[in-house]
């Protein structure tokens, strides 16, 4: 293993958590999962985005920061790898989409103050799917508060991710076309993704198409 901190990213329904769990089990890694189920504002946001967007984004930011800060300062001495199903910078990606300009400016000030204390990943794997396939996964997993998400929203989030990641020049980003991969049920597909973590990559985006 060439890396100490791997992040799996993607839009809603991309399969981030499933792949992170498989990697963590396979590599005996410390697993960091986003605690979205504890965010009471999330169901309210999907019902009334304009009213609940700012408290939603602020609670996500503070919780993600605290979780990463606590974990990375208390690393398991028997595990040399951390695998997370989110990157702290997703706070900026979602907030820019969900907040009005004044709210976003305030949010970014808070983000800039706290994010500098967190390490950046050694490798980020972005699972790219079409909005239609993201929607299929969302419907399949059956979270009631997600069922009203619209394709246009998923498309906007995906575009924001790609635009943001293209600006990164600090670590490698693998942009994996995953529409035709079923790494949960197909061992061969999983091994293709696993093999990616055993190689070295240049800083910036590397497209991966199987």
Separation between Cα atoms, residue 138 and residue 149, nearest integer Å:
9
Element (H, E) at 133: helix 131-141
Separation between Cα atoms, residue 79 and residue 144, nearest integer Å:
36
| Structure token pair of residue 68 | 């990463």
User: Which of these is catalytic: 38, 48, 76, 85?
Assistant: 85
26 catalytically annotated: no
Separation between Cα atoms, residue 44 and residue 48, nearest integer Å:
6
Separation between Cα atoms, residue 51 and residue 207, nearest integer Å:
38
Catalytic residues: 85
């Amino acid at each position: 293993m060439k890396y100490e901190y791997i992040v799996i990213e993607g839009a809603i329904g991309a399969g981030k958590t499933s792949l992170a769990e498989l990697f963590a089990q396979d590599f005996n890694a410390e697993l960091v999962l986003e605690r979205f189920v504890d965010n009471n504002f999330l169901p309210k946001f999907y019902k009334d985005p304009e009213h609940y967007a700012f408290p939603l984004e602020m609670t996500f930011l503070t919780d993600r920061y605290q979780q990463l800060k606590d974990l990375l300062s208390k690393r398991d001495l028997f595990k040399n790898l951390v695998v997370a199903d989110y990157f702290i910078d997703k706070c900026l990606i979602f907030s820019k989409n969900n907040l009005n300009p004044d709210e976003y400016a305030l949010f970014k000030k808070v983000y800039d103050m706290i994010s500098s204390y967190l390490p950046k990943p050694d490798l980020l794997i972005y699972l790219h799917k079409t909005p239609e396939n993201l929607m299929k996964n969302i419907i399949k997993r059956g979270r009631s508060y997600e069922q009203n998400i619209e394709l246009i929203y998923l498309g906007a989030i995906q575009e924001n991710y790609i635009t943001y990641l293209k600006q990164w020049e600090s670590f490698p980003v693998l942009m994996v076309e995953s529409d035709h991969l079923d790494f949960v049920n197909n061992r061969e597909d999983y091994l293709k993704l696993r093999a990616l973590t055993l190689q070295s990559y240049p800083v910036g985006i590397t497209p991966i198409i199987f």
